[in-house]
Amino acid sequence: MSTLELRGRVATMVSSATDGEVTTEEILTGGGSLAALGVGSLAVLRLIDALDDELGVQLDLDAPGTHLDDFDDLVRTVQERAVRDD
């Protein structure tokens, strides 16, 4: 999956985790902090479950190198873990 496709897929997953309160477009154009966009802690937990279920990427909030607040860092982390897990 290309980086552009992954960005779109993760943005859709983030939006779903917020029950649509934050749109995919807002995530893709807003950049930066997910918290600033209104993605709360419950949505982050839902996102972690969705990433595992849909992409097979396991993220541990306490693990070093796990970046979930910044969207671009999140996509990079997912991409790195997906490649590593293949």
Reported as a single tens digit per residue, the pLDDT across 8-66 is 999 999 999 999 999 999 999 987 789 999 999 999 999 999 999 999 998 887 777 66
Is the pLDDT reported for residue 70 higher than 70? yes
Q: What angle do CA 9, 12, 17 make, to 5 degrees?
A: 125
| Tokens (6 digits) for 45 | 């937990």
- CB neighbours (10 Å) of residue 29? 9
Give strand pairing partners of 62.
none
pTM of the predicted protein model? 0.87
Whole-number Å distance between alpha carbons of 76 and 34? 14
